[in-house]
Amino acid sequence: MNDQKANYPDVPIVYEDNHVLGVSKPVNIPSQEDASGDPDMLTILKDDIKVRYNKPGNVYLGLVHRLDRPVGGAMVFAKTSKAASRLSESVRSRSFRKLYAAVVHGKPKQPSGRLVDTLYKDSRSNTVRVVPKGTEGSKEAILDYTVLATENGMSLVLVELHTGRPHQIRVQLSHAGWPLYGDQRYGNGLNKAGQQIALWSVFVGFPHPVSKEEIRIESMPPTLHPWNLFPSGRLIREIKNY
């Protein structure tokens, strides 16, 4: 990257061709520009492409899906408008697959299961809550979970998203009684200021927008607390076998 953008964080590139860019998003970076004015993923990657390929003028990069600012991991962008349209259709048709790893307080009674809730987003407070089905402005949220390990009163959980609602994993797991480690907003007073939320996008899979070949973007969480409480072997196997 150029000197002007030298203060940008490093964003590891996992996959790239003429149509798709897959990266491992660092934590605490917005997916796109927001009111904070902080560097965001779209701006960082556009500038990077501009420099690496010596492109004049504006660079196109389409936001296919979002990760909450404190969440890191696998993330996909479209490098052409055609790819953006086709990837967006993959999201709508649910052929765009997403897996997350999370460290939660407590241990779910069942080793695996499905959570189905109705969520409502309050745009004024930027918070999401579970509401009765049929509530005006609400949307159904579905995820599957598998408990991979439990240590020190916390569990490593693998989550497959079937819908892409704002704050979905954080709200649904908290509502079920297993708030995420480090989640100040939905942590029910269990977390302390300064803790990093333990939620990581470990896998994104989708048919390539042109070749239709299955593309897999993988990213492992950092070997920091609380992730390092759990052996990484089973998580790696689950991702590879998905």
Q: How far, CA to CA in Å, does 1 sit from each of 32, 48, 227? A: 19, 6, 31
Three-point CA angle 16, 159, 164, nearest 5°: 70
DSSP3 helix / strand / coil % (the chain, rounded to 5)? 20, 35, 50
Who contacts 227 (Cβ-Cβ below 8 Å, separation ≥6)? 103, 198, 200, 221
Asked if 38 is an active-site residue, the reply is: no
Give the whole-angstrom CA distance, residue 82 versus residue 112.
38
Q: Please tell me which residue in 68, 117, 122, 144 is annotated as part of the active site.
A: 68
The residue among 114, 161, 117, 123 whose CA lies nearest residue 135 is: 117
- Cβ pair 110, 63 in contact under 8 A: no
Q: Which residue has tokens 């904070």?
A: 36
Give the whole-angstrom CA distance, residue 92 versus residue 95.
8
Give the whole-angstrom CA distance, residue 96 versus residue 88.
9
Q: Indicate which residues carry an active-site annotation.
A: 68
